[in-house]
Amino acid sequence: MTRRDRSSAAPPWPVALPAALSLLFLGLPLLALLIKAPWGRLWSILTSPTSLQALRLSLETASAATVLAFIVGVPLAWVLARAEFPGRRLARALVTVPLVLPPVVGGIALLLAFGRRGIVGQYLDSCCGITLPFTTAGVVVAEAFVAMPFLVITVEGALRGLDTRFEDAAATLGASRLGVFRRVTLPLILPSLAAGGVLTFARALGEFGATITFAGNLPGVTQTLPLAVYVGLEGDPSEAVALSLVLLAVSVIVLVALRDKWLRAGAAS
Amino acid sequence: MRRALPFVAALAALALTACGSSSGATTTPGTPASSGSSSAAGPITVFAASSLKESFTAIGAAFEAANPGTKVTFNFGASSTLATQITQKAPADVFASASQKTMDTVTTAGAAASSTVFAVNTMEIATPASPAVPVASLADLARPGVKVVICQKDVPCGAAAQKLFTQNNLTVTPVSEEVDVKAVLSKVVLGEADAGIVYVTDVKAAGAKVVGVVIPKDQNVTTKYPIAPITASTNAITAKAFVDYVLSPVGQQVLAAAGFTSP
């Protein structure tokens, strides 16, 4: 009771002032975006062929990157959470690197690895004629590189926090390993899978640095929404603002969606 | 699970907001403007086109040596990006653009009074040192399978590339439209692109990292580079002195050595 009283008391001004300032600092730029938005021309800008093309490409590549992340990221999360092998800590650290690495650096690293002259890319090129830079597939690779860690870390955390007694009980009752995973583990980590998926998708959708460095910028092929925003700033700044609103809206939707997932995830654990 | 999620949430919040970034202008605090005399002193920030990087860095060092107490900080980027930053009141003292059109957006906005053309540049095809596909002429760029990288159309080097293709009746489908000329060059240096349309000066600056394919004069386009002191400069005397220095024989010599021609 007393604890609650203390925590709900009005904060002293040395705390309240910087707190208010930081809120303002975070909120004002977004507010400016809304104020300066070309509301009158908004619809015509957003429905212009260039915008729709960029939007479609963004949704397609971010979805593809998310699917890719699920296919290879969830098994990785399982291995990191459950398997015992030398270098596991190193592997986990490796997964978090793209999270903190400046995306441009990620783009350069991708070029050096998977570019036409890259250490792996040169063989892809010579054996199968596959070159990733300047292609839509390259955009997906760049987005997956930057965004997949969100899924891996979220799901790994969920698996590690899971009470293994449920799985053990299912196994002793005769369920196969696959059966246990499908009927017990999967439903338990479902909220985290969803949260991780949404985060991954959102991060992929907003990816800029790695994409422009690795995949380049060509409308309809590699020019995703963030690239269109950046390039738009050179020609028609109000177009860039309008496109920014779309990305802002997506971010807000993602956060609202996640809040819901977290509440459910919290209730489940 | 509970413990992992706030961490992820914090990272997500960071990542979602950190979409794009551009080189911001930085002014160094340096020494304050000394006496009330009309001699150049103190720091200035020069916003200059990417293609001026090597020559202006050299001119800046020479200017500092000739005018003790001055400090020149550069912000290199696409002229159009710099123009936007200046019209949005970025703290620039001098603007050197790779096109008159871009400079005009700054003068029209009232950010600069008048500009002077200080150099002329022409285009050249940059190809990788060890090419995957041979490129020997402008016409080769239209061949299928040749990966051509140019600047995007709102950047002066992109406008010049488009003009180059149009006036030579070439249909070139680039694989990428980069944000500035140095980005085009880096795609060529890394061997990702077979050819890039850059300035003569960029090929020269890149040295052995690229091989230039000269475009005949009658097919080529030229770009004029105007320079202007920014009206809102807090160090107008030094800004003016720097502009004069670029136009002086010393400045012109550095530019000529970089491959520019005099206006």
Shortest distance between the Cα of A33 and any Cα of chain B, in A, equals: 13
pLDDT at A256 (0 to 100): 84
Which region among A227-236, B4-13, B86-95, B160-169 has the lowest average model confidence (pLDDT)? B4-13
The reply to whether residue A233 touches residue B12, judged by beta carbons under 8 angstroms, is: no
DSSP A214-247: HT---TTTT--HHHHHHHHHHH-HHHHHHHHHHH
Q: Which element (helix H / strand E) includes B122?
A: strand B116-128
Q: Which element (helix H / strand E) includes A179?
A: helix A177-180
The reply to whether residue A212 touches residue B192, judged by beta carbons under 8 angstroms, is: no
**pLDDT band, very low/low/confident/very high, at B28 (cuts 50, 70, 90):** very low
* Mean pLDDT, residues A240-254 taken together: 89
In chain B, which residues have their Cβ closer than 8 Å to the Cβ of A115? 190-192
Which region among A166-180, B51-65, B93-107, B133-147 has the lowest average model confidence (pLDDT)? A166-180
B77 neighbors B96 (Cβ within 8 angstroms): no
B181 neighbors B198 (Cβ within 8 angstroms): yes
Q: Helix, strand, or coil here: A235?
A: helix
The reply to whether residue A202 touches residue B175, judged by beta carbons under 8 angstroms, is: no
Residues 80-99 of chain A whose Cβ lies under 8 A from any Cβ of chain B: 99
A139 neighbors A245 (Cβ within 8 angstroms): no
pLDDT tens profile B191-248: 999 999 999 999 999 999 999 999 999 999 999 999 999 999 999 999 999 999 999 9
Domains of chain A in start order, with CATH, are 44-268 (1.10.3720.10)
**pLDDT band, very low/low/confident/very high, at B86 (cuts 50, 70, 90):** very high
- As a whole number of angstroms, the longest Cα–Cα distance in chain A is 72
The reply to whether residue A216 touches residue B80, judged by beta carbons under 8 angstroms, is: no
Comparing A46 with A66, the larger pLDDT belongs to A66
pLDDT at A5 (0 to 100): 52
Nearest-angstrom CA–CA distance, B48 and B225: 10
The reply to whether residue A229 touches residue B20, judged by beta carbons under 8 angstroms, is: yes
Answer yes or no: is pLDDT of B112 > 70. Answer: yes
**pLDDT band, very low/low/confident/very high, at B31 (cuts 50, 70, 90):** very low
Answer yes or no: is pLDDT of A267 > 60. Answer: no
B229 neighbors B94 (Cβ within 8 angstroms): yes
The reply to whether residue B5 touches residue A265, judged by beta carbons under 8 angstroms, is: yes
Q: Which residues pair with B37 in a beta bridge?
A: none
Mean pLDDT for chain A overall: 88
Contact of A183 with chain B, judged by CB distance below 8 Å, is answered with no
Answer yes or no: is pLDDT of A212 > 70. Answer: yes
Q: Helix, strand, or coil here: B176?
A: strand
Contact of A138 with chain B, judged by CB distance below 8 Å, is answered with no
Inter-axis angle of helices B236-247 and B249-257, nearest 10: 60
What's phi and psi for A197, nearest 5 deg?
-65, -45
Q: How many CB atoms lie within 10 A of CB A82?
A: 13
Contact of A116 with chain B, judged by CB distance below 8 Å, is answered with yes
**pLDDT band, very low/low/confident/very high, at B8 (cuts 50, 70, 90):** very low
B223 neighbors A164 (Cβ within 8 angstroms): no
Which range, A141-150, A154-163, A164-173, B200-209, has the best average confidence (pLDDT)?
Answer: A141-150
Nearest-angstrom CA–CA distance, A46 and A55: 9
Nearest-angstrom CA–CA distance, B115 and B103: 8
**pLDDT band, very low/low/confident/very high, at A229 (cuts 50, 70, 90):** very high
Residue A64 identity: A
What's the number of CA atoms in the CB half-sphere (13 Å) around residue B203? 22
Residue B144 identity: P
The reply to whether residue A157 touches residue B176, judged by beta carbons under 8 angstroms, is: no
pLDDT at A258 (0 to 100): 76
How many beta-carbon pairs under 8 angstroms link A with B? 123
Q: Is the pTM of this model over 0.80?
A: no
Domains of chain B in start order, with CATH, are 43-120+224-257 (3.40.190.10), 121-222 (3.40.190.10)
Which range, A1-10, A157-166, B18-27, B55-64, has the best average confidence (pLDDT)?
Answer: B55-64
Residue B216 identity: P
Comparing A166 with A211, the larger pLDDT belongs to A211
A38 neighbors A241 (Cβ within 8 angstroms): yes
The reply to whether residue B3 touches residue A203, judged by beta carbons under 8 angstroms, is: no
Contact of B187 with chain A, judged by CB distance below 8 Å, is answered with yes
Q: Which of B141, B263, B5, B222 is nearest to A194 (CA)?
A: B5
pLDDT tens profile A113-122: 999 889 999 8
The residues, any chain, with a CB within 8 Å of residue A236's CB and separated by 6 or more, are none
In chain A, which residues have their Cβ closer than 8 Å to the Cβ of B1? 157-158, 160-162, 192, 265, 269
Q: What percent of chain A has pLDDT over 90?
A: 59
Which letter does DSSP use for residue B196 in this model?
E
DSSP B40-107: --EEEEEEEEGGGHHHHHHHHHHHHHHSTTEEEEEEEE-HHHHHHHHHTT---SEEE-S-HHHHHHHH
Which letter does DSSP use for residue B216 in this model?
P
